[in-house]
Chains A and B, each alone.
Chain A
Amino acid sequence: MRRWMMAALCLCLGADASGQNGRVLFEGGTVFTVAGEGAGEIERGHVLVRGGVIEAVGEGDAPEELREGATVVDCSGKTLMPGMVDTHSHLGGIGGADGTGPIQPGVRVMDSINVRSSGFRRALAGGLTTLNIMPGSGHLSSGRTIYVKLRFFPETETQPAGPRTIRDVFILGDDRRPMGGLKMANGTNSIRDSAGFPGTRAKSAFLVREQFIKAQEYAAKWDAWNAKAEEGDDPGAPPARDLHLETFVDAMNGDIVVHHHTHRHDDIITVLRLAEEFGFRVVLHHVSEAWKVADEIASFEGVPGPDGEPWGAPCSVILVDSPGGKLEAIDLIYETGGVLEKAGARVAMHTDDWITDSRLFNRMAALAVRAGMSREAAIRSLTIEGARMLDLADRVGSLEAGKDADLVVMSGDPLSVYTKIEQTWVEGVKVFDRSDPEDLFYAQGGYGAGQDIDPYFCCYDHLMKGGAQ
């Protein structure tokens, strides 16, 4: 059933792939460029795309010279916004660290992902184009995350449609290596009655500090060996590599961002204390109680970011429909986004899929608006703010010339329940089209559309039985 559908689907997508080489012009609709400070709303604008990159964005219709040979996507009465960026997803049947220990930063989630998981089709239906896929919950550090672009290839004579391997969705950094961050957690998430795991918050912080200090010593050893080698001396055998410590060193060097699960106000402050001590760049994830310490978060400077400005303590917020379900989310409120915005903190949203559904990512921002966040900040929280948290703000998250041509065409207001996501484009290729019955199938669900591989969390059974999480 599923194989047949995939085959049928790629026939349609194949026909749409013209945008890859030619020009595609989106015009006639409201455009949220999300460039600059606000949401960059243009009442009637156009976006011209060529070779997977945005060539021009402007008001009104495109000038004649740009229209030449372009395939026009009529967006009259519709809304155009950047492909959405999800800073925290568990799609792809992921698995990270296992139950053997609380700190396993060397484990890479990229080694566990099934790129054919139906969840990715739902993410495209939700207008998501860039994801930070994280290893699962329940550890102080459960491993390296991976930043992916939801590319979707047409069928060929020898290959079915879609991404074929994890390599097809990598986002490569300047060093040509796949980009990603490091997942960490504190609070009750990683406290458990199991050998080696912490039983208290103080023990959690101690275990993490102990490993970071080991990583400092490990880095010093390597620095000394490298210095010797550079000076032309015989440095002897290199120090033994340690994948876990190596990852912590990457974080302390600022090469990767720490994505830190943290809910309770005191846990949030603990994260900031550790970030200060070890100089890593951090994104605070979930932050159910950030509203209690919004000023502390907003005024935190931290180490310099890639642009030389203080990295700060950006927050990636999740709103679930009700508070509770676990002790650290008792005081979760819809107001968090708005309170952080007013305090001056940076705010993105995330699905935490499967916690919330990727098809409804825009709904979360709308719930934040329901409780006081500005519409502009809400639209930014779905796009550019997340891009910045993944070091991708120069490539995705806004509609600006030179950036990746990742766009979403919607039927109306991005924050309305009545709005449908009609098209999703990644790097100039249409990867979701609601008018295509097979895409609609994944957008709505139905027989064969569901999750084919469940994510692995070490504490998963425990969670679903409603235990003391």
Chain B
Amino acid sequence: MRLLTAFAALFVSSAATPQDADLLVYGEVVYTMEGGELNAIEDGVVYIEDGVIQAVGPADGTQIPKKAMETRRAAVVVPGLIDPRSTAGLTGIYNQPQDQDIIETSKPIQPELRALDAYNGRDELVGFLRAKGVTTLHTGHAAGEAMSGQLFVVKTREGSVGESVLVETSAVSATLAPSALNSGGKGPGTRAKLAMILRDELIDAQEYKAKVDAWQAKKDAFDAHTPAEGESEPDESAPKDPGDPPSRNLRLEALASVLSGDVPLLVTANRAQDIDTALRLADEFGFTLWLDSGAEAYLVAEELRAAGVPVFLHPTMARPWGDMQNMSWTTAGRLADAGLTVMTQSGYEGYVPKVRVVLFEAAIAAVNGWGFERALAGLTITPARVLGIDDRVGSIEIGKDGDLALYDGDPFEYTTRCVGTVIEGVVVSDGE
């Protein structure tokens, strides 16, 4: 079976030359998700040229160039799925030390670790997700240490990261949950201490940032200054050369970009009290807060909405125990009803299933109050907007990447199969 998969992969990648990135896909129904709505097109067609969508519309009436090209047909065509929070590529299938890169336990705080430097695009589990229609992963370090590292955004095509990277550093992962207490990195022993070490670290970053900013301001002023014509005497008031920049510190540099708002802090918290702590820290330090997991988010929905925090909700089928014991299958729907931006995620898993399929997790939320349209948006356009990649992916629109997922029926139905996955016009999987 795995041999077959490997063989198929070879075959597919050999076809992935630029001129083959033209594709015609017919769907009995095409959900474009443009504007966050289904925009169902019955008997629709999507035309992809050089990896980019050039036409979408009803098959009868949409202009398609008359040339030979690969053609696919499916019952349902949707934008390639985006997993909004994953550890795929870092959480290897074998679950042996050599293929587990989701958590570095040598220290509690290591925001400098880049997912980019750990991701294995050839891991079988990435291929497994690809065959279910997932084309984009927001993946990286899991919760479990106070600050475990960075996440990034990558397409699921097989191979080295390279051109598959969409965002090099999309977020820094922090944890306000019991998993970071007494952790492998000798994390703090209590909630209060956990919050304190995070504050301590952010304050260090503020000071570092102030130093770097001050140096930069001096340098900018010095570079901008041109001595006046004919002046021979040195001008005492002229900006001085600030000399060498402060020495770089990758850890504080990563946090400085959190403080400047360039990189959000993705904080894992499940208990309402921990979510509240995350909101308090965001207030104090002014960073962009993304809430990860959020099992009890329904208790503080109003606070989250007021703070404009998007929720990367735990897998719907997560186990209701530990700090997730109060989770509910209705949370996605309730948060959406309350006006929050919500997405389900595949999350992180120490055992089985080693990766979850975000489509499956969304399905359970969809039938428990979230609804078909919002759930499908939560797999496509919603995360694309939150992650700032909606100029490339998340909906089927002219000019966007030709990323599609093809199904033989309702994508959320248990018995429906993925029958094709397309990344930038290339069929990267024939599905299940």
A and B are interacting partners:
yes
Interface residues, chain A, with chain B CB atoms under 8 Å away = 291, 320-327, 329-331, 333-334, 354-357, 360, 363, 366-367, 369-371, 415-418, 444-452, 454, 463-469
Chain A residues within an 8 Å CB radius of B329: 444-445
B320 at the interface (CB under 8 A from A): yes
B321-A354 in contact (CB<8A): yes
Of chain B, the residue at the smallest CB distance from A451 is: B321
Assess A417 versus B325: contact at CB under 8 Å? Given A324-B124, A371-B432, A468-B96: no
Nearest 3 interchain pairs by C-beta: A450-B325, A324-B93, A366-B414
Q: Given contacts A418-B367, A447-B326, A466-B100, are A454 and B321 in contact (CB under 8 A)?
A: yes
Is B349 an interface residue, CB under 8 A from the partner? Answer: yes
A325 touches B317 (CB 8 A): no
A325 touches B320 (CB 8 A): no
- Whether, in the assembled complex, B363 has its beta carbon less than 8 Å from a beta carbon of chain A, the answer is yes
Since A330-B94, A463-B350 are in contact, a sample of 17 more A-B pairs with Cβ atoms closer than 8 Å, ordered by chain A residue number, is A322-B355, A323-B124, A324-B92, A325-B351, A331-B2, A334-B432, A366-B415, A416-B414, A417-B363, A417-B366, A417-B367, A418-B367, A444-B328, A444-B330, A446-B326, A450-B324, A464-B351
CB distance from B95 to the nearest CB of A (A): 5
Distance in angstroms between the alpha carbons of A366 and B308 in the assembled complex: 38
B93 near A466: Cβ-Cβ < 8 Å: no
Contacts of A325 in B (CB 8 A): 93, 95, 349, 351-354
Pairwise interchain contact B354-A468, C-beta atoms closer than 8 A: no
Q: Residue-by-residue, is B402-432 near A (CB-CB < 8 Å gives 1, otherwise 0)?
A: 0000000000111111000000000000001
- B353-369: CB near A (< 8 Å → 1, else 0) gives 11111001001101110
Alpha-carbon distance A452/B416, docked complex (angstroms): 35
Chain A residue nearest in CB terms to B355: A322
- Contacting pair A469 B353 (CB below 8 A): no
8 A-B residue pairs with Cβ-Cβ distance under 8 Å, sorted by A, are A322-B128, A322-B356, A324-B94, A325-B95, A444-B330, A447-B299, A450-B327, A452-B325
Determine the distance from Cα of A329 to Cα of B299 in the docked complex, in whole angstroms.
38
Q: How far is the CA of A326 from the CA of B91 in the complex (A)?
A: 12
Q: What is the CB-to-nearest-CB distance from A281 to chain B, in angstroms, rounded to a whole number?
A: 28
Residues of A within 8 A of B355 (CB): 321-322
Q: Which residue of B lies closest to A463 (CB)?
A: B351
Write out the residue numbers on chain B whose beta carbons fall within 8 Å of the beta carbon of A357: 317, 319
- Are the C-beta atoms of A363 and B414 separated by less than 8 Å? yes
Instruction: Flag whether B296 is at the interface (Cβ < 8 A).
Output: yes
Check if B432 sits within 8 Å of A320, measured CB to CB.
no
Q: Point out the residues of chain B lying under 8 angstroms from A367, CB to CB.
A: 414
Q: Among the listed A333, A360, A454, which residue makes an inter-chain contact with B1, where contact means beta carbons less than 8 Å apart?
A: A333
CA distance A371 to B418 in the complex (A): 11
Question: In which size bucket is the chain B interface?
Answer: 35 or more
Nearest opposing residue in chain A for B408, CB measure: A370
> For B417, what are the chain A residues with a Cβ–Cβ distance below 8 Å?
370
Beyond A321-B360, A366-B415, whether A331 also contacts B1 by CB under 8 A is yes
Cβ of A466 and Cβ of B351 under 8 Å apart?
yes
Partner of B354, one of A291, A322, A415, A444: A322
Given A363-B414, A444-B368, A466-B100: A326 and B321 within 8 A (CB)?
Answer: no
CB-nearest residue of chain B to A447:
B326
- Whether a CB of chain A sits under 8 angstroms from the CB of B125 is yes
Look across to chain A and name the residue whose beta carbon is closest to the beta carbon of B368.
A444
* Residue B65 at the chain A interface, CB threshold 8 Å: no
Known: A355-B352, A444-B368. A327 touches B94 (CB 8 A): yes
Rounded to whole Å, the gap between the CB of A377 and the closest CB of chain B is 14
Please tell me if the beta carbons of A323 and B354 are within 8 angstroms of each other in the complex. Answer: yes
Which residue on chain A has the smallest CB distance to residue B416?
A370
Taking the complex as formed, is B234 at the interface, i.e. its CB lies under 8 A from any CB of chain A?
A: no
- Measured between beta carbons, the chain B residues less than 8 angstroms from A370 are 414-417, 432
Query: How distant is the Cα of A467 from the Cα of B320 in the complex, in angstroms?
Result: 22
When distances are taken between beta carbons in the complex, the residues of chain A under 8 Å from B363 are 417
Contact A464 B350 (CB under 8 A): yes
Smallest Cβ-Cβ distance to B88: which chain A residue: A322
CA distance A467 to B97 in the complex (A): 7
Are B96 and A327 closer than 8 Å at their CB atoms? yes
Q: How far is the CA of A363 from the CA of B97 in the complex (A)?
A: 32
Chain B residues with Cβ below 8 Å from A465 are 184, 350
> Is there contact, CB below 8 Å, between A450 and B351?
no
Q: In the complex, what residues of B have CB within 8 A of residue A326's CB?
A: 95, 351-352
- Whole-angstrom CA separation of A291 from B417 in the bound complex: 20
Q: How far is the CB of A453 from chain B (nearest CB, A)?
A: 9
Contacts of B364 in A (CB 8 A): 360, 417
A325 to B93, CA, bound (A): 6
CA distance A360 to B322 in the complex (A): 20
Distance between Cα atoms of A332 and B130 in the complex (Å) = 17
What's the least CB distance linking B379 to chain A, in Å? 15
Q: How far is the CA of A327 from the CA of B351 in the complex (A)?
A: 11
Q: Which B residues are CB-close (under 8 A) to A321?
A: 317, 353, 355-357, 360
Q: Which of B97, B125, B320 contacts A445 (CB 8 A)?
A: B320
Q: Which residues of A contact B2 (CB under 8 A)?
A: 330-331
- B92 CB contacts on chain A under 8 angstroms: 324
User: How many Å lie between the Cα of A417 and that of B360 in the bound state?
Assistant: 10
Contact of B128 among A323, A331, A463, A467 (CB under 8 A): A323
Q: A417-B413, A465-B350 are in contact. Are A448 and B326 (CB under 8 A)?
A: yes
Q: Nearest residue in B to A122 (C-beta to C-beta)?
A: B320
Say yes or no: B321 contacts A324, CB within 8 Å: no
> A448 vs B325: C-alpha distance in the bound complex, in angstroms?
7
